[in-house]
Structure 1
């Protein structure tokens, strides 16, 4: 009961502070009553949709928009609270510093300017959320990297790949925007297209209206894909038979699009007698909440030392998870105990790992020329977006193509990654 009571009290405090800031500017009863009516409607819609989602076992578009409405209404109030609470602390300090004064003299009524300032600052995240919902989720960015490797085969010098991840077709609602994004991917004219999982939110049928659109994807050396945690049906079904049937349908969806689905397997690309391996593992996540079906050993069983390998693994925690830390965090839950190695410590060298999964939490701040990159995602996934390197092995985490739950993106835009592989020249 306490775990529900505390959030309710905190939200009520936010609402009261917002109400007081509005009341400091106007005594119009229609505005003040309207504020509470709007607030009640927002939370009523939110709790109704969340309850519906729990009964159905999956998120619908209407649930996503209910979440968006609640966040758009709630997050700006955090800024109002921060400013007004700071003012209240100052007023309280003033009261204790002025002995002999009455409360009214020492703590004057809330100043109109402070309320105007609080509401003005709160308007910035409010506008940001509205933009993120209506425009930001389709603000596709092509992010390009050139990567140099000592052991890249000569024949693949200049090889170009495009990575997309986390399509989440169950959240799509604009065919024109999705077609634009597919065309943008094709415009990159990469040698290969690599998809790193989560093609749906929960069930295979979510992709049915979009198969013809994604069938337009093309690359000279083909399209390769893997599964993400949302592709197994666990979020929609409890019965194993339903889960297995959904899995079979998902495989057919990949086939219909033209994706070569890798299930702990590899494909070998050859040029002038030289090889480059595409390894694809099933989902493996450090959290006990996500499926652990990936196997690096199975995917690379025919790989010979010294060959160049690109790994597709949906969850970036696969790259560097630490077993003992997981056991301690999850209190040695048997569900998280595994003998699956992380990529860094794996006996066979995997030069480049491509992942997704985090979405950058669809919210954050990125200003490249200031080298500023922040998202709440970093507190769960230290490697949450972009390029990382450790022990001579690289990880790229794609920010995602679609959205999940919150139908918008604020500061963290949908990403199409283009990576050019280059052979590093030896210094004589």
Structure 2
């Protein structure tokens, strides 16, 4: 975590230096305005570092007042950088930097083509050079695109999750259980921005679907029980015929004491599956494995233990936070794995990186005869922004 923090701090600093060059130095003359904008950017840098570091020191509940502006600025920083990077080539081309002698010069003289010296800059508007005019124009475009993208993303992230209903044909399922409903929710991420009202809305939406079973597939919290216990308390109001089950995600281990959260969830009527399984009547066996992050505390996933004693006469459904764990599940003949972790990418274009790392981004797929369903999650981590990846709660309807 120390190495990760250092790398993240270096990255944040470099991004702010790039923004200073493109949004401050290139658009202003030396003087009072440039100094003012420079100090504003320095302040935003400090705010973002504090947002990323301090919640682990002073706790999420006391971090709310600076986490909101800090994480919103984080999202704006990302999209300002991406937009300005896309605009670099046309900006340089319009400045006359991308210019070469005609190829005929090489044919007639035999000399290699070389770059022409840049043409003298002419004012694009009275008193403003072409360079400054293009820098200011690209800054305005980047600002408008970034603000619009983050605004729409905040509406997506902070609004109610999509309610998805997905039929899944499960081999070996007794026809008597056709239509059995499993509510799947993941990545609720209670923390400095999301609290009790977030949990209450999720519980209400799940209960309105009248599920037979509820599964919470990790990353419930970003803090300790003392800090976030009241925010998680509405989970006791979940209603289903066969109960609510939980497996750890990586953030339960980052929060410091996953065992305390498992005890708290049991008190709330949520049953953790810690590398173990239980029979859901005669319908199927439900198993759960710890997250990969548990390896750092000798509590990592143990598939053999989790699947020990499951019946070959009925299907097996596995809860595993990370989709990448499906290879282990498939090797052991699991029929269906339910996962989260990816957030569906949360912020485009990071979808592509997450998809490569996890193998599956969201939705239903098949890996070596094992079906894998990945929910995009009902919350968010970091910026309260989702671009191209709306939150969801899924109700699976099993079919024989």
Tell me how far 1:143 sits from its aligned partner. 1.6
Q: Confirm or deny: 8 A CA contact 1:79 1:118 kept in the other structure.
A: no
Aligned-residue CA RMSD (Å): 3.6
Deviating more after overlay: 121-130 vs 254-263 = 121-130
Structure 1 residues 316-372: Cα deviation after superposition (integer angstroms, max 9, x where no partner): 12112xxxxxxxxxxxxxxxxxxxxx11112xx21110011222342137xxxxxxx
CA distance in 2, matches of 1:154, 1:72: 51
Matched, 1:280 2:288: yes
Tell me, in whole angstroms, the C-alpha distance in 1 between the residues paired with 2:84 and 2:189.
34
Q: Which runs of 5+ in 2 are unaligned?
A: 1-5, 103-114
Separation (CA, whole Å) in 2 of partners of 1:298 and 1:101: 70
**Conserved in 1, the CA contact under 8 Å of 2:289 and 2:319?**
yes
For the 8 Å contact 2:170–2:398, the answer to whether it is kept is yes
Q: How does 1:115-264 map to 2 (within 5 A)?
A: 115-116=136-137, 119-133=140-154, 136-173=157-194, 175-232=196-253, 235-237=254-256, 243=257, 247=259, 249-264=260-275
* Residues 275 and 302, structure 2, Cα contact 8 Å, conserved in 1: yes
CA–CA separation in structure 2 for the residues paired with 1:52 and 1:73: 19
Do residues 400 (structure 1) and 377 (structure 2) align?
A: yes
Structure-1 separation of matches of 2:117 and 2:123: 9
| Secondary structure at 2:188 match in 1 | coil
C-alpha distance 100-228 of structure 1, shift in aligned 2 (>3 A) = closer
How far the C-alpha of 1:8 sits from its partner, in A, is: 4.3
1:344 equivalent among 330, 340, 349: 330
Q: Which residue of 2 aligns with 1:303?
A: 310
Q: Distance in 1 between matches of 2:117 and 2:189?
A: 64
Counterpart of 2:279 in structure 1 is: 268
Q: 2:42: which partner in 1?
A: 40
- Listed as ranges, the gaps of 5+ residues in structure 1 are 238-242, 321-341, 366-372, 424-428
Tell me the CA shift for residue 99 of structure 1. 5.5
Determine the C-alpha separation between the residues in 2 that align with 1:119 and 1:290. 49
1:102-117 mapped onto 2 (5 Å cutoff): 102-104=119-121, 109-110=130-131, 112=133, 115-116=136-137
Aligned partners of 1:199 and 1:207 also within 8 Å: no
Q: Counterparts of 2:206 and 2:251 in 1: how far apart (Å)?
A: 23
* 1:174 CA displacement: 5.3
- Please show how residues 362-381 of structure 1 align to structure 2 within 5 Å: 362-364=346-348, 374-381=351-358
Alignment size in residue pairs? 376
**Offset, 1:104:** 3.2
Calculate the TM-score normalised by the size of structure 2: 0.80
Cα distance 1:46–1:132, how it changes in 2: closer, same or farther (>3 A)?
Answer: same
TM-score by length of 1: 0.75
